[in-house]
Amino acid sequence: MKIYIIRHGETDSNSKNIVGGIKEDLNENGIKQAEKAREEIANLNIDLIICSPADRTKHTCNIINKNNVPVIFDERLIERDVGIYENKDWKNIDRKRFGISIQQNIQD
């Protein structure tokens, strides 16, 4: 069995180095990125796609799913709540503290 992981295309928050934006959709560049990914995976033998229900991931999935593979949208793949870091610029975040909270979530 092979598992392929594709990250969603770019959003406006991504392009501005902003954390969060869970309800945000792809921007024009993100759509182009998803279209490029679609062409790169076109010849892979994919049986199932499991996707986060976030808007940007569903949009990416719809673009890359050229062969109409069955899709499961799984809430467990939704990004975690970043709390006080939501809509903050990455340069203003204590990355060490942010990393520690990621580690704590993984262990829980």
Q: Which domain holds residue 103?
A: 12-107
Inter-helix orientation angle 28-41/55-64, to 10°: 40
Active site residue 35: no
Active site residue 24: no
Residue 2 falls inside a structural domain: no
| Single-letter amino acid, residue 67 | N
Residue 95 falls inside a structural domain: yes
Q: For residue 56, what pLDDT is reported?
A: 93
**Which of 28, 39, 40, 79 is the catalytic position?**
79
**Measured between alpha carbons, how far is 69 from 81 in angstroms, rounded to an integer?**
29
**Measured between alpha carbons, how far is 92 from 80 in angstroms, rounded to an integer?**
19
**Residue 89: which CATH number?**
3.40.50.1240
Residue 4 falls inside a structural domain: no
Please tell me the total count of domains within the chain: 1
Residue 33 falls inside a structural domain: yes
Q: Please list the pLDDT of the chain residue by residue as tens digits (108 residues).
A: 899 999 999 999 888 877 776 788 999 999 999 999 999 999 999 999 999 999 999 999 999 999 999 999 999 998 767 777 777 777 777 666 666 444 444 443
Residue 6 falls inside a structural domain: no
Instruction: Give the number of C-alpha atoms closer than 13 A to the C-alpha of residue 34, restricted to the C-beta side.
Output: 23
Q: What is the pTM of this model?
A: 0.78
